[in-house]
């Protein structure tokens, strides 16, 4: 029977060495879990790309072609394209600008309106002089992205893909006002 006046804690079935070993294993597992999940503050791949991308005016004036993606973190198609976009950026960073603009960021509202973004992902394609040469609507596979990128870098016509086409100049569209849908309106 335990003595109520005895200040010593009840004995543990584990010895001191076993408790220290368990604490070390728990700490190692916690560190491994944090490392596997990308650190303490993991960012979405799209957000990482967006943080590394140039500002749009700089990209359009630095003498390299540009691939601009309008995206959102919650967009499944955008997220599915992220690994291919990262590969494009990594493989061609010295010959191509990859710029990501999040449609949920009010900072990009003028660009959303200017490029008539009404669905995502939407790619705007620019030649090395900063002139718009085309647009791509919808998700793109890695081979499709690579074909678009190669055409931009080589200065050749864009490949014939569903949802890809040339765009008219902004002056041509000034005659009739465009009705804009919100790019965040689809589910």
Q: Where are the domains of the chain?
A: 12-42, 45-175
Tokens found for residue 5: 């006046």
CA angle 59-169-78, nearest 5°? 50
Alpha carbon distance 129, 150 (integer Å): 16
- At residue 82, φ and ψ (nearest 5 deg) are -55, -45
Please provide the distance, in angstroms rounded to a whole number, between the alpha carbons at the two ends of the chain.
66
SS3 at position 69: strand
CA angle 119-123-125, nearest 5°? 145
Decide: 122 and 70 in contact? Cβ < 8 Å: yes
Average pLDDT score over residue span 8-35 = 77
Kindly report, residue by residue over 43-53, the tens digit of the pLDDT. Answer: 677 888 888 98
Kindly report, residue by residue over 101-156, the tens digit of the pLDDT. Answer: 999 999 999 999 999 999 999 999 999 999 999 999 999 999 999 999 999 999 99
Tell which CATH architecture fits domain 45-175: 3-Layer(aba) Sandwich (3.40)
Q: Residue 183: is its pLDDT beyond 70?
A: no
pTM: 0.68
Write out the catalytic residue numbers: 75, 78
Q: Residue 177: pLDDT band by 50, 70, 90 thresholds?
A: very low
């Amino acid at each position: 029977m335990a003595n109520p006046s005895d200040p010593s804690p009840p004995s543990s079935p584990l010895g001191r060495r076993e408790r220290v070993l368990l604490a070390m294993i728990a700490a190692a597992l916690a560190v491994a879990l944090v490392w596997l999940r990308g650190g303490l503050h993991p960012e979405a791949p799209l957000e990482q790309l967006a943080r590394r991308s140039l500002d749009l005016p700089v990209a359009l004036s630095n003498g390299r072609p540009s691939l601009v993606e309008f995206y959102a973190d919650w967009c499944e198609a955008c997220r599915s394209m992220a690994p291919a976009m990262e590969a494009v950026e990594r493989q061609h960073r010295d010959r191509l600008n990859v710029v990501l603009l999040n449609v949920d960021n009010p900072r990009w509202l003028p660009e959303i309106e200017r490029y008539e973004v009404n669905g995502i992902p939407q790619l705007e394609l620019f030649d090395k002089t900063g002139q718009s040469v085309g647009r791509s609507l919808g998700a793109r596979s890695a081979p499709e992205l690579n074909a678009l990128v190669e055409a931009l870098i080589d200065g050749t016509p864009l490949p014939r893909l569903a949802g890809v086409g040339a765009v008219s100049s902004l002056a041509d569209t000034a005659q009739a006002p465009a009705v804009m849908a919100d790019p965040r309106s689809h589910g």
